[in-house]
Amino acid sequence: MNKFLIFFFFYITVFSQVSSHQDLENYRIPLTYHSNDTILGLPLFSNNFNFFTKHSIADWYNLSDNTIDFENYISDNKSIEMIFFLDNNIFNFGLPFRDSYLSFGINHHIYGNLNFSNELLSLFWNGNSQYLNQTIDFFNNRLSFIQYSSIYFQSYFQYKDCKMGARFNFLHGINYFNLDRGHFSFNSVNNLITPFSTYISTNIYARTSNSNLIGFSNPGLSLDYAVKFDIKDFNFSIQLENLGFIYWNKNTYAHNSNTHNYLFNGFDYTMDEVVSEELENTLDTLSDIFAISSEKDSRFITRTPLKFSIQASMKTSVDTDLFIDFKCIEDWGETGNRDFLNMYFIGVSKDVSDKIILFSTFNYNKFSPFNLSLGIFSKFDNWMFKLNTNNLFALFSEKYFHINTSLYYTF
Amino acid sequence: MKLKIYFSLLILFPFFFISCEKKIETQNWSPEIITPLANVKLTLADLIPEEGSVVYDEDNFIRLAYRDDNIFSFTADSVINIPTQEGFSEYYSFQDLPINDFNEEIDYTLEQVLTGDPTIQFFAEAAGIQIPFPYEQQVSGGVFNILSNELDGLGQTDIELNQFSEISFITGDLSIGIQNNLPINIENIEVNLSTGVDDVGLLQFSNLQVGETQYLTTDLSGLTIDNNMLVDFLNLTLEQVDPMSEFIITPNSGIKIFFQITNINVDSVTMAFQNQQLADYNTIVDFNLENGEQIHNLILKTGKIICELQSTLNTNVILYLSIPSATLNGQLFETQRTIYAGTETSFEEIDLTGLNIDLTTDVVQPYNKIPIVVSAVLDTGDDLVTLTNQDSASIGLSFSDLSIEYADGYFGDYEIDLGGDVVDVDLSIFEDFDSGLILDDPKFIIRVFNSVGIGANIQAGLNAFSPTGQNAIFNFNEIIDLPAFFGDTVEQIWVYDKYNSTIDDIIALPPEQIEYFGTAFVNGNKDNINYISSDTKLSLGVEVDFPMSLNVANISLKDTIILNELDVNYQKVKNLTLFMNIDNGFPLDTKLDLLLRDSISNVIFDTLEVANFSSGLVNEEGYLIESVSAENSIHLNDSQVENFLNSNQIVLDVTLNTEESQSIRLYSDYEFIVNMGIQLKIDFDE
């Protein structure tokens, strides 16, 4: 089973009411939530997992016989671009307070992306013989990863007709990796003294930081804000999350490639030397070319990936709502080159019964333009259950996989 | 109920996926990799290292060189060897031992006579004689007349003969002399001699004038006397004188007795011997030399005379030895030793180191002869020793440990075996020449240094053996000159090359062992003085000089590259091709094979024939002026790949050939360069 699913977390978010698709996608108590219920979120039952790939994994991975084959993938000039977001609600607790609703909890977050160019894949899969007498540049290879936890305090308040919520998150950075520059090139030639002498150029730079899963190092702060308001028959909801930063100060390292330009032409051997020693020396030299020197780096600050969503809905009948939803998540990666991953939803929600609400949308993103989502929210006695996927027909045959589930208990 | 089921399934869902995990495999993953591999530089120094007999000139020209300046040599000991020489050996019996004469003098004064008898003394004093005697006093003649009448004699006196204790005479003459120191004549005096053993007898002296000495002799033959002789003056008759005359007497007035024993030949004698000669011998030692050498002058580097002395005397004997024709430090050589002569043989060594001997003093044979004077003397001091005619002594002298510091003369004509040996030739390079090694200018040089004052004819040879048992012989027969004067050195050199010797036959073997042997025929030419000293030497040395200017066929040289065994699954390697750019800087056609070898099982798995390369460009002198480049590739099949990866050694088997009739020169810095790249296809699919 694909290991992505190992990190399949179930979460419970407890809602007295799931009022919007936006709320449906929340993995914790929505900012604008307000009720008289005291809510206890059960630990380790939270997940919102998004996985995007430019090309279907099935193009190179065969699930049925568990084999990898990049041959056609590479020949089709495809690269690997993947983005994933995972948010878990470890614990949350909410209670009404006067006219407000307060809640706090602990969350866990992972954001990451990787880009491997077709050239890199081809080099790895087919070898470098194909590039004889050619200079091959490897750019646009990227790998980024951030993992952090947060302790949050949020409050709901109402101002006139606007329902607002604010959440302060105290962050603890767990892991950070960002390949700021992942460039290298080489040129193997057969017109020098040594056959296949290779010019190698590297320009690699990355930063890392890590700390324990639980702790207070790598501190950060972020702010979430949401507002809901009605205009005539339309309900609008705007939400901004992860407006903040993390100050990475523990085990911070800068990783730099040592050599910028080098001509590798094998090891030199004379009869008074030992082959194994010379080979080892040459391998050491070769590894030095690509070796990354890791030096203790000064502390640095990164922003948390910004999330923004806006939704407009309209009740068309007592039990039916039409809505459009726009989300964007900051595609966090190469320094100075920020991008946003946009998702567009248009759908309908219907109260099938007093216990079940169904949501369905047609949604679009640049990786997977045609997706059908289906969500269900159900309440039985003191239990509430939610299951939602933005791409019903995913499961590794497509380029976008999303799922979140929840199971909660109210008292 | 349903919810519980759903909930349970939901919990179990991830576990299902985890437990279902299985290993991911690849399909169609066969990358083809090209990479530079190695730049191998092989020099002639690697193939022909500078070790053993291989040497490099300053310009890196390779030659085989061997030199030993002392293959054969002979020194003074080889020319002349003086064996232990017996000087003489004598046996002495003391049967007729001459004993030195005994002499004794005794003063028997008038004062002693008068005081010897109280009555006489009373009378003498009554007669007016002062006792003790003053310096002078007058005594009348009448007193003497009375004394003559009254004295029965002169009384007795003892004569102690300190020289001996007891003697048994075979012959001996005892002489008694009486000297009249009285102021009047002695008309008659009788002396009776007796000892503790035998009595000697009565002697009568008459008409002894004033101041006169009379001697009487008696034969002691057959008598035994001890050293306490009692002299009894039995009768004394003085001349009757005028009683009124006055005579002067002094304390010395009286008689003097001379006691002498001569012509002593005894059966035994117990006495203290002083300088009693036991033996006195002059002899000449004649050196026995094996080869008829005639030594005129000799300075000994080492040597000694060993004296052996054995006797029944059991006392010390003084040995005097001199060599009249020898000096030590400019002084005549003579020495004295005290040796205990007992029944157990005593040995005494006399060091002759540095002795300078003239061996030409004998008129009849003016060489090899050394006169020696030896005497043995008995000197017991005050100790008494009994010597009988049954006693004996044996004395022997011999010369031993004689080695020469310097010797001259005529050394004669004789043969010296110089010996020989079999040596393993450290010309390991020859092992690599399968056949047809033709050196342009090999030289075999023989050097002789001769500081010995003698000429010789050296006949020597080399017998060389190849690993296959073939042999070739080189002979040497030359005359070695002698130096013009002592201290001079003659150096002679003979150079043998392929034009004047069989040296090329030896080279062509090639040799694995060389046996050398030689004989020197010493030529002691009588027209010149021959000499030899401890510093002089005749040495013969050899030098081999084989410059590597050659014409060869099939030099097979090998060198081994050690590999760690590669822990690689060779089945993953689908094919492998080695690409090589080769620069042949050897002045020889070069064939390169790679032998894939396992050193543990000593098995050669495979032989990869890399290529055959033409030699670099060579000028007329055989010197490389330009290397030759070429490209080549070897494709290894599955079996060869497997063998390559299983090998822990790669043996470079280089076969070199010169063009026919082309002579080339080998320099250690010639290089053969192989630059290798590898193209490799790996199949990662399971």
**Residue range A317-361, pLDDT digits in tens:** 888 889 999 999 887 655 556 778 899 999 998 988 888 888 888
Verify whether the Cβ–Cβ distance A407 to B10 is below 8 Å: yes
Q: Which pLDDT band holds residue B211 (cuts at 50, 70, 90)?
A: very high
Of B307, B357, B306, the closest CA to residue B328 belongs to: B357
Q: Which residue has the tokens 């050398």?
A: B516
Tokens 């090639």 -> residue: B510
Which H helix or E strand runs over B100? none
Tokens of B254: 């009286």
- Predicted pLDDT of residue A267: 78
Cross-chain CB nearest to B581 (options A71, A132, A195): A195
Q: Is residue A105 exposed (0-12), middle (13-18) or buried (19+ Cβ within 10 Å)?
A: buried
- The stretch A89-96 carries a mean pLDDT of 85
Size of interface A-B (CB pairs under 8 A): 142
**A195–B677 CB contact, under 8 Å:** yes
Residues of chain B contacting residue A69, judged by C-beta atoms under 8 Å apart: 26-29
pLDDT of residue A245: 93
Which one of A5, A193, A276 has the shortest CB-CB distance to B17? A5
Where are the strands (E) in A117-196, listed by range? 135-138, 142-159, 162-189
Q: Is A68 an 8 Å CB contact of chain B?
A: yes
- Answer yes or no: are the C-beta atoms of B624 and B59 closer than 8 Å: no
B484 at interface of A, judged by CB pairs closer than 8 A:
no
> Residue for token digits 């290894």?
B636
| 0.85 surpassed by complex ipTM | no
User: CB neighbours of A209 closer than 8 A, spacing ≥ 6?
Assistant: A173, A175, A176, A218, A248, A249, A250, A251, A252, A253
Q: Which residue, among A149, A85, A138, A139, has the nearest Cα to A112 in the 3D structure?
A: A85
Handedness of CA B38, B39, B45, B48 (dihedral sign): positive
Q: Do B20 and A69 touch (CB under 8 A)?
A: no
Per-residue model confidence as pLDDT tens digits over B551-597: 766 677 777 777 665 555 666 777 889 888 988 888 888 888 888 88
Task: Answer whether A49's CB lies under 8 Å from A86's CB.
Answer: yes
Q: What is the pTM of this model?
A: 0.59
Count the Cβ atoms, other than its own, within 10 Å of residue A224. 21
Residue B579 and residue B35 in contact, taking contact as beta carbons nearer than 8 Å: no
Closest Cα to residue B465, out of B501, B427, B518, B519? B427
Query: Residue A195: closest CA among chain B residues belongs to which residue?
Result: B677
* pLDDT attached to residue B553: 67
The per-residue pLDDT for A4 is 32
Residue listed under structure tokens 């990164």: A302
Reference A146, options A114, A179, A182, A109; nearest CA is A109
Residue B21, SS3? coil
DSSP state of B638: H
Evaluate whether A29 touches A39 at the Cβ level (below 8 Å).
yes
Pairing of the two strands A48-53 and A100-116: unpaired
Rounded CA gap, B576 and A270, in Å? 24
pLDDT for position B570: 63
Composition of chain B by helix, strand, coil, percent to 5: 10, 60, 30
pLDDT tens across B136-190, in order?
999 888 888 887 877 666 677 777 776 677 888 888 898 989 999 999 999 988 8
The CA distance from A366 to A255, in Å, is 32
Is the CB of residue B437 less than 8 Å from the CB of residue B507? yes
Burial group, residue A52, by CB count within 10 angstroms (0-12, 13-18, 19+): buried
Cβ of residue B119 closer than 8 Å to a chain A Cβ: no
Token digits for B666? 């080998």
User: Quick one: B388 exposed, middle or buried, by C-beta within 10 A (0-12, 13-18, 19+)?
Assistant: middle
Asked whether the beta carbons of residue A269 and residue B563 sit closer than 8 angstroms, the reply is no
Determine the length of chain B: 686
Q: How far apart are the first and last CA of chain A?
A: 37
The span from the CA of B148 to the CA of B111, in Å, is: 15
* Interval B677-683 mean pLDDT: 87
With a pLDDT cut of 90, the percent of chain B lying above it is 10
Q: Which of B13, B22, B675 sits opposite A194 (nearest CB)?
A: B675
> In whole numbers, what is the pLDDT of chain B averaged over residues?
81
pLDDT at site A246: 93
- What pLDDT does residue A155 have? 93
Indicate the pLDDT class of residue B18, thresholds 50, 70 and 90: very low
Q: Measure CA B258 to chain center.
A: 62
Q: Is B45 left (phi over 0), alpha (psi -120 to 50) or beta?
A: alpha
Confidence band (pLDDT; 50, 70, 90) for A312? very high
Q: Which residue has the tokens 């017109």?
A: A191
Say which of A10, A70, A275 has its CB closest to residue B10.
A10
Given a contact cutoff of 8 angstroms between Cβ atoms, the answer to whether B133 and B149 are in contact is: no
Asked if residue A325 lies in contact with residue A344, where contact means CB atoms within 8 angstroms, the answer is yes
Q: Best interface-test mutation with B: which of A72, A275, A289, A380 has the largest number of B CBs within 10 A?
A: A275
Cα of B550 vs its chain's centroid, Å: 48
What integer pLDDT is reported at residue A241 of this predicted model? 93
Report yes or no: A46 at the B interface, CB cutoff 8 Å: no
| Angle of helix B118-126 versus helix B141-150 axis, rounded to 10 | 160
- The percent of residues in chain B predicted with pLDDT above 70, rounded, is 89
- pLDDT at residue B12 greater than cutoff 70: no
Tell me the shortest Cα–Cα distance from B623 to chain A, in angstroms. 23
Lookup: tokens for B523 = 């030529």
pLDDT class of A259 with cuts at 50, 70, 90: low
A135 CA: distance to closest CA in chain B (Å): 14
Nearest CA to A52 among A294, A327, A381? A327
Residue of A75, A81, A89 whose CA lies nearest to A54: A81
Q: Are residues B39 and A274, on separate chains, in Cβ contact within 8 Å? A: no
Mean pLDDT of B274-284: 78
pLDDT of residue B356: 94
| pLDDT at residue B13, rounded to an integer | 42
Query: What's the average model confidence in pLDDT over B632-637?
Result: 86
CB-based burial label for B600 (10 Å; 0-12, 13-18, 19+): exposed
Q: Which of B3, B14, B20 is facing A383, going by the closest CB pair?
A: B3
- The backbone region for A281, taken as left when phi is positive above 0, alpha when psi lies in -120 to 50, beta otherwise, is alpha
Indicate the range of B137-141, B485-489, B500-504 predicted with least confidence. B500-504
What are A284's two structure tokens? 């050491």
Structure tokens at B487: 């201290």
Interface of B with A in 558-587 (CB under 8 A): 559, 561-564, 579-581
State the pLDDT at residue A5: 32
Contact (CB, 8 A) for B467 and B431 = yes
Is the pLDDT at B459 greater than 90? The verdict is: no
Q: Check residues B328 and B316 and name the one with the higher pLDDT.
A: B328
Phi, psi torsion values for B633, nearest 5 degrees:
-140, 150
Token readout for A306 is: 């910004």
Token pair belonging to B141? 């003649």
B524 Cα distance to chain centroid: 25
Q: Does A381 touch chain B (CB under 8 A)?
A: no
